[in-house]
A and B are shown apart, each in its own frame.
Chain A
Amino acid sequence: MPTFRRLLGFLRPYRGTWVISFSLALLAMGVTVASPYLVGRGIDQIRAGDRGGLTFFAVAIALLGLGRLLLTIGRRLVAGRVSLGVEQDLRDRLYGHLQSLEMGFFDRWQTGQLMSRATVDLSAVRFFLGYGLVFIVQSLLTVVLAAIAMTIQQPLLALLALLPAPLIVFVGHAYGTRGRPAQQDAQQAVAELTAAAEESISGIRVVKAFAAEERRREAFEATVERAFGKQLRAVRIEAAFQPFVQFLPQISLAIVLLAGGRMVVDGDLTIGQFAAFYVYVLMLIQPLRSLGVMLGLGQRATASGMRLFEVLDREPTIVAPTDRPVRTLPADGGGAIRFEGVTLRYPGQTRPALEDVDLTIPAGERIAIVGETGSGKTALIQLLPRLYDPTAGRVLIDGVDVRDLDPTALRREIAIVDDDPFLFTASVAENLAYAAPGATREEIERAAERARAADFIAALPDGYETVVGERGLTLSGGQRQRLAIARALLAGPDREPGDPRPRGPRILILDDATSNVDATTEQAIAGGLDEVMAGRTTLVIAHRLSTVRLADRVVVLERGRVAAVGDHDELLARSQLYRDIVTYGMAGQVFLTRKQEPIEVTEA
């Protein structure tokens, strides 16, 4: 059970508190177990007609009960604190780990998968560590302490009464081997069902377009019925196990009745002791029942733990160097870029995304990158901020291998504007200042102006305080892109007060939108971009001629290799591929030219 032991490791920071909680539970259970004994003694006093003795024991029970009340309250408070602490640690740990992992990880793992691990699996683990374990300990304590109490009072009867106990271990083991696979089977079937539903709902337009509702329904119902069948199997196994565990104490009860009764008649046992035994065995029913349930929870938690560790055990690959000194970019560097024999192979892909790319971009140059889908344009730019590391070769910025830098410091020097920019659910101002939390309102507004976003921001319901993003106001693609440009302009390292250089990244990367910005705005942005690009190296993934024309040089990529480099005219003359791209890849879409762009103010 290495997974189980590792899960227990999450309790380590709380060892001290856990010991207190355990001691309190032990004391409380000791008191609980003492109670039937006292009741028995009380009954014997009644038999003897001793009113004073009876009162004594009754008062003792009441006082012990009071003690237990205090102990239990204390135990609950301490244990609750531990369990909530563990929960938060676990969540922070997983979240922190996800934040440390490289982009490649997120390409291979679907968001849904990660979400289900971070919610469903995490809650199974925390429920077990927080509550399940306490219950198990408490139940075990009850069983053990009750057994001890019984043995002290009448060893032979205790032995007889506990005769069925080993059966529980046997049954529990049998359940573990059969029940767990059935449970996992059922869980897997539900996961398939989720995927099936997700696909149909995402593709609902297509389903409706082809009047395929009936067919999809039938297919989905078949999946549901399959899951139902598997759940049923798990239910049957469970239904054979649980009742049996509850039945065993009844046998003990019969033994106590039969053997204990004889002992009373023979005078070896007082009636009070007999009553105490009877109560002890009844006391076992509840813990045994919850033990079964909790062990089941433990199994689920272990399975979930395995799934969590699958994520947690993935070492982050893109980190600051540990075996050599961390270097910094020269302060006066202008963002010169060099790709030296760079090959990039995405995990699980046979064909490399980039193959043996050599490219030198002097500081301050503007480079357009063109190529077909899948030619490696995005792969190339992702190497700069180390979203990926090359499989072979190296990438240098101002003469420093990017792998010798602290990734966070490196990324402060590079700003990317995606073709479909992501905004967080936060105000416009917060989104703009995302890369530079210390930016002043003035700086923010200035960046918005340079990105030609100031006008539409002013028209938003709450201006810069308007909440946008997934759970906020929906903006059009063009608007989002302009915000992303402004956001990029605010990136870059913080400047000392009095530093004349404006804020901004050393390297700017633009992924040209294919259809998001209309011609008029594009012209406006281009004017702004000119200003923006000044003094920094810019790489543009270009999908239209107008964008290509902003660049000093064009790099043509083909199947991960650099096919040609040169300016527009040279390439038109020299490269057949470039001519094809310009003619077939760019020409037709220019007809998309937009004149109007309504501000979408759809409340999400």
Chain B
Amino acid sequence: MSAPGPSESGSTTRRGAAFADIRRRQQATRGRGRRTRSLFGMMRPYRGRIAILLVALLVATAASLAPAPLAAKAVDDGLSKGNLDHLTVLVAVLLGVSLVGLVATVVRDRLVGWLGARLLSDLRERIFRHLLQMPVSYHERQRAGVLVSRMTNDVDALQTMISSSLVTLISSVLMLLGSIVILISLDLKLALITFTTIPVLLLGSLAFRLASVDAFARTRETIGAITAHLQETLSGVRVIRSYGREQGHLDRFHELGDENRRANMKTVYLNAAYFPAVEYLSTAAIVIVLLVGGAEAIDGAVTIGVLIGFVTALDNFFGPITELSNVYTTFQSGMAALEKIGALLDQESTLTDPAHPRELPDPLRGELRFEHVTFGYGVPSRGGSASAGGTGASSSPIVLHDIDLTIPAGATVALVGSTGAGKSTLVKLAARFIDPSEGRVLLDGVDLRDLRQRELRSRMGIVPQEGFLFSGTVAENIAFGRDGATREDVERVVASLGAGDVLDQLPQGLDTEVGERGGSLSAGQRQLVAFARALIAGAPANGDGRLGGPSILLLDEATANVDLRTERRIEEALELLLSDRTAIVIAHRLSTIRSADLIAVVEHGRICEAGTHEELLVRGGAYAKLHEDWQRGTTDAPSAAAS
């Protein structure tokens, strides 16, 4: 029969699986040693403060342990003998100890708060520095929101862990050890009886931790699903409204909430079993101490004071155990955060500056040359590591094949072709946002990888398609183009671009706030600001009538700005911008393309033809066909030309 009987081997494998499960859970509760060490590494600069903190912690804990032995003394030496003077002395001691404890606690809390805030500020700065030096290709694959949440939410979780859980952990352990010493010193036999509860406690705690690992992980997972759903709802709110599908989302959200609630309920069950049990154990200990110690006291083997002291001290013994289990939860989420932050910081930048950088000549001629350049995401580049710094596309990772292209100094090359053909990859290579997988990119004969990125880019002006602006004024955004650009520089650049009249129309002229992402400017105005920002890069105008500005310009032309008021200005400014310097333009406007010195048609990662507008038209290839299509598109409009 095929019914699986409970065979010997079956039960052993099942048992084996159970053990493996326990082992897995156990590993999940500890481990992460490397991360913890890195946390300690971050604390190293503050050794002095930490030392003081530990002393304060020790003193504060010791002070809080004092009442029990003092009670024992008071009963035995004071009350039982009617010695009031002795009692007064003890009261003075108690007050003195308490005052010392007060001071120590203040010092402790201040230092802990300081340390928590300091470490987290350091960590934020470190993450930010790290993100800044990660290559553009990395950022293209990561959502900004996720990265920022590492710097905020995860860092916050870590702060809670450091400033509350860590202190609780240390002081609880100290308290536990202190109580053990006090219990032993009060009465060895009673102490040993009390300690019989320790194995029970340890086993119980272990079981609790093992059981909760999965429950906690599950709650975090389900809450993550809720957050993701919420995020998506907010991003897609227009679609939801348009189709009136609110109810469906409400139902789904409630379902996710139910899952989270179920997962949470499991932790409630676990806590409801564990904490009251520990509490009961402490009661049991008191009962035993009373019975055993009481009998001894009646026999005169133990003084009544010791017994009272003992009962009082028991609280300090069991209290920390509950506390330790309590901090366990915050510790878990803190460690999870540490893990995520650590994983982020472990990502190494694949685009680094050379150890011995070469200098660019000054003035730069500006000849750009692609030599047998092949690029693919995930394809190893020189140096052996993946060039994209992330997982590559699963199919056809090669974006550019064996590109050979020379852009003479001062010339403008227009790149034309479909989306995904590889135009923007070429531009990214020129700015060294990415490194070629094979071949090299040369500027005036120098391999870009032999230059410092800062040196290279300070000679370049880059106009991205979306014209990203930072919040601040128009002038600030233009000055962004070059470190140390003055107001005069900004005004000169605006004037030389002929953008003055457009930008002056803004409510506060150059001092107008551009709003988040430049939202309070029109698309055309944003474009002009981006032009000015690119033009201010590089050397300032040197007074010989030349415009100055960057030697190299990389421009991704905006596709659609139906902004007639600025349209002509943009065309004129573009012409000015392109004159007199080496430029690569991802071009969409015929006027731009026509005026280029060289047009390169990019298809499927290759340059399929190159030449001037006229040459290419004569050749009758891909470009000529594009042009023909376009002409049909504009003139096909019935009788547009006729009327």
Contact = CB atoms under 8 A, between A and B. Distances in A.
A261 B79 contact: yes
A418 B241 CA distance: 13
Given A88-B261, A194-B148, A99 B110 contact: no
B311 A593 contact: no
A58 B291 contact: yes
A415 B242 contact: yes
Given A212-B480, A231-B117, A593 B630 contact: yes
B107 to A, nearest CB: 8
Interface in A26-75: 35, 39, 42-43, 45-47, 49, 51, 54-55, 57-59, 61-62, 64-66, 68-69, 72-73
Contacts of B431: 208-209
B70 interface: yes
B308 interface: yes
A106 B626 CA distance: 42
Most buried by B among A247, A548, A582: A247
Interface stretch (B45-53, B195-203, B270-278): B270-278
A38 to B, nearest CB: 9
Contacts of A88: 254, 257-258, 260-261
Interface residues of B, number: 168
Contacts of B144: 198, 201-202
A568 B643 CA distance: 11
A591 B626 contact: yes
B23 interface: no
Interface stretch (B6-14, B184-192, B355-363, B561-569): B561-569
B487 interface: no
Contact of A278 (B71, B95, B393, B420): B71
Nearest to B81: A265
A425 B132 CA distance: 30
A282 B312 contact: yes
B464 interface: yes
Contacts of B265: 80-81, 84
B639 interface: yes
Contact of A491 (B125, B132, B243, B523): B243
Contacts of B395: 601
Interface in A268-318: 271, 274-275, 278-279, 282-283, 286
B564 A581 contact: yes
A534 interface: no
Contact of A209 (B105, B420, B460): B460
A408 interface: yes
Contacts of B464: 205-206, 209
A244 B105 CA distance: 9
B589 A588 contact: yes
Contacts of B248: 437
A602 interface: yes
A105 B94 CA distance: 61
A170 interface: no
A321 interface: no
B233 interface: yes
Task: Report, as a range, how many residues of chain A touch the other chain.
Answer: 35 or more
Interface string B594-607: 00000000011000
Given A210-B533, A414-B242, A601-B394, A239 B113 contact: yes
Given A387-B242, A437-B248, A43 B237 contact: no
A47 B287 contact: no
Most buried by A among B420, B464, B633: B633
Nearest to B102: A247
Interface string B309-329: 001100100010000000000
A387 B233 CA distance: 16
A581 B562 contact: yes
Interface string A199-233: 11111111111111111110011001101100110
A414 to B, nearest CB: 7
Interface in B570-627: 588-591, 593, 603-604, 626-627
Contacts of A392: none
A111 interface: yes
Nearest to A48: B298
A210 B457 contact: yes
A545 B633 contact: yes
Interface in B257-300: 257-258, 260-261, 264-265, 268-269, 271-273, 275-277, 279-280, 283-284, 286-287, 290-291, 294-295, 297-298
A54 B290 contact: yes
Contact of A238 (B90, B109, B231): B109
Given A201-B131, A596-B604, 10 more contacts: A39-B286, A80-B265, A243-B106, A257-B91, A572-B643, A585-B567, A591-B627, A594-B419, A595-B418, A601-B395
Question: Which 5 pairs show the lowest CB-CB distances between chains A and B?
Answer: A235-B113, A65-B283, A80-B268, A411-B244, A243-B105
